[in-house]
Amino acid sequence: MAGHAHHDPDLKTADPELFDLIEREDARQRDSIRLIASENYASRAVLEATGTSLTNKYAEGYPGRRYYEGMDFVDPIERLAIKRAKQLFGADHANVQPYSGSPANLAALLALCDPGDTIMGMSLPSGGHLTHGWKVSATGIYYKAVQYGVRKSDRRLDLDQVRALALEHRPKLIWVGHSAYPRTVDFAAFAEIAKESGAYLAADIAHIAGLVAGGVHPSPVPHADVVTTTTHKTLRGPRGGLILCRKKHRKAINKAVFPGLQGGPHNHSTAAKAVAFHEAMQPAFKTYAQQVVTNAKALAEQLLARGITLVTGGTDNHLMLLDLTNRGLGGRHAARVLNDCGVELNANSIPFDPRTPFDPSGLRVGVPSITSRGLLAEHMAVVAGFIDEGLKGAASVDTDGYTAEADFVAPLRARVQEFIGAFPAPGL
């Protein structure tokens, strides 16, 4: 005799309100040109792995040394994820448990530094990340953070400044990495500076992990003590984090992630990370990574041809920063108008920005998502045209009085939707 009748309806039946919101988000992602540089479309296989029974299981500890029973399948899953991450990036060790990029970065600091130590990182307004020591982040509160930036003349990383600051402040650890920098990073040069100043080198490749995995951006793995990343940006995996490190830091990194910072790992994410690492080892992913860089260059050219200013004049990676100063537009207003037109991107500070971080002078544009939908270089003229039209629309209306009812919005949105609708969105 079975126990209680087990009422287990599907989501649509159990929670129609929530189901409807998710359906509408699916449609929004299908119908817009998604240009947020840190986003992507995960594959159906990745999404499937995240929605499994693995979410039911606690697994504090590491494979073979857990604090819970029932590890028959969770251990092999985590071992597989670790093996694939090491193989994909050619690393000595991988910790696949970080919940996301910020916890991964905090774990790297916990492993290699003591509270109050001096650390160095690229400043947020120059294109760095909060967790590289920005003042409102735990990494800027618990550590003495020295921040480097970009050169005024060309808005590129100033390695002379990095070296001078490192020799002056003798940080325990130097971060290299960015979330809004459109150029290739010279990890070997950073490693030289770290060595000269007696610092550990930590590389945060969250934005470019897929480019590194696909061989179109140099890898920091041979140069850095620790490499952190998210798994959901150019790498196209589930939301999550990953730490790679040299053998000698393995124990410290593992201890920092658990029990230092986190409790039970999210096994459903671990499994989905394993799927993504497997996908990233296929020849098709190399083609994808190459296409990302090709598309970014093509889009940059098309934007420049329309008189749009790009910080550093172009891009080497998956993203570009538009400087709206000469269009007399604020980033926030421009981003809002473009979003209403079906072109999703984010307002972003530009180096030496005269405006505030909440309403900065720039827009950040990335091509990982549209490349996942199969757009090629030849399509970038259309995308640039939509951006240009949206910006002209934004400039034609009063910022305060603007609503999505403005005349130009609906027709442009319809054309955007028709264009992007021809490219199937993975996973949806």
Q: Closer CB to ligand DSN, residue 101 or residue 393?
A: 101
Catalytic hit among 204, 316, 323, 389? 204
Cβ atoms of 121 and 127 closer than 8 Å: no
Catalytic hit among 144, 239, 255, 306? 239
Residue window 114-153: x/- pattern of binding to ligand DSN, with contact defined by CB under 6 A: ---------------x------------------------
Q: Is 228 a catalytic residue?
A: no
Q: Select the residue interacting with ligand DSN from 95, 97, 126, 179 (CB under 6 A).
A: 179
* Shortest distance, position 99 Cβ to ligand DSN, whole Å: 13
Q: Closer CB to ligand DSN, residue 84 or residue 364?
A: 364
Residues 68-107 close enough to bind ligand DSN by CB under 6 A: 101
Whose CA is closest to 372, among 131, 36, 11? 36
Q: Closer CB to ligand DSN, residue 82 or residue 296?
A: 296
Q: Closer CB to ligand DSN, residue 36 or residue 382?
A: 36
Spell out the residues 6+ positions from residue 216 whose beta carbon is closer than 8 angstroms to its own: 289, 290, 292, 293
Cβ atoms of 407 and 358 closer than 8 Å: no
Q: How many CB atoms lie within 10 A of CB 220?
A: 28
* Shortest distance, position 233 Cβ to ligand DSN, whole Å: 7
Catalytic hit among 31, 48, 52, 60? 60
Q: Is 200 a catalytic residue?
A: no
Q: Select the residue interacting with ligand DSN from 33, 34, 35, 38 (CB under 6 A).
A: 38
Q: Is 239 a catalytic residue?
A: yes
* Shortest distance, position 38 Cβ to ligand DSN, whole Å: 3
Residue window 336-375: x/- pattern of binding to ligand DSN, with contact defined by CB under 6 A: ----------------------------------------
Cβ atoms of 208 and 227 closer than 8 Å: no
* Shortest distance, position 129 Cβ to ligand DSN, whole Å: 6
- What is the edge-to-edge ordering of all strands in the sheet holding 319-323? 309-310, 319-323, 362-366, 346-348
Q: How many CB atoms lie within 10 A of CB 69?
A: 7
| β pairing state of 61-62 and 319-323 | unpaired
291 near ligand DSN, judged by CB under 6 A: no
User: Cα–Cα distance between 203 and 191 in angstroms, integer?
Assistant: 10
Residues 296-315 close enough to bind ligand DSN by CB under 6 A: none
* Shortest distance, position 179 Cβ to ligand DSN, whole Å: 4
User: Cα–Cα distance between 125 and 73 in angstroms, integer?
Assistant: 44
Q: Closer CB to ligand DSN, residue 210 or residue 393?
A: 210
> Judged by CB under 6 A, how many residues of this single chain contact ligand DSN?
4
Q: Closer CB to ligand DSN, residue 366 or residue 390?
A: 366
If you search the block for the tokens 């808005």, which residue do you land on?
155
Q: Closer CB to ligand DSN, residue 181 or residue 277?
A: 181
Q: Which two tokens stand for residue 229?
A: 């990343």
Whose CA is closest to 140, among 164, 158, 123, 127? 123
* Shortest distance, position 300 Cβ to ligand DSN, whole Å: 18
User: Cα–Cα distance between 265 and 262 in angstroms, integer?
Assistant: 8
Q: Is 58 a catalytic residue?
A: yes
Map residue 371 onto helix, strand or coil: helix
Rg (C-alpha) for the chain, rounded Å, is: 22
Q: Is 388 a catalytic residue?
A: no
If you search the block for the tokens 């949806």, which residue do you land on?
428
For residue 418, with 0-12 CB atoms within 10 Å meaning exposed, 13-18 middle and 19 or more buried, which class applies? exposed
What are residue 242's phi and psi, to 5 degrees?
-155, 140
Please identify the residue of the shown chain whose CB is closest to the bound ligand DSN.
38
Q: Is 204 a catalytic residue?
A: yes
* Shortest distance, position 207 Cβ to ligand DSN, whole Å: 6
* Shortest distance, position 366 Cβ to ligand DSN, whole Å: 9
Q: Which two tokens stand for residue 236?
A: 């196209």
Q: Closer CB to ligand DSN, residue 205 or residue 275?
A: 205
Query: Is the sign of the CA dihedral 203, 206, 207, 212 positive or negative?
Result: positive
Residues that bind ligand DSN (CB under 6 A): 38, 101, 129, 179
Active site residue ranges: 58, 60, 204, 230, 233, 239
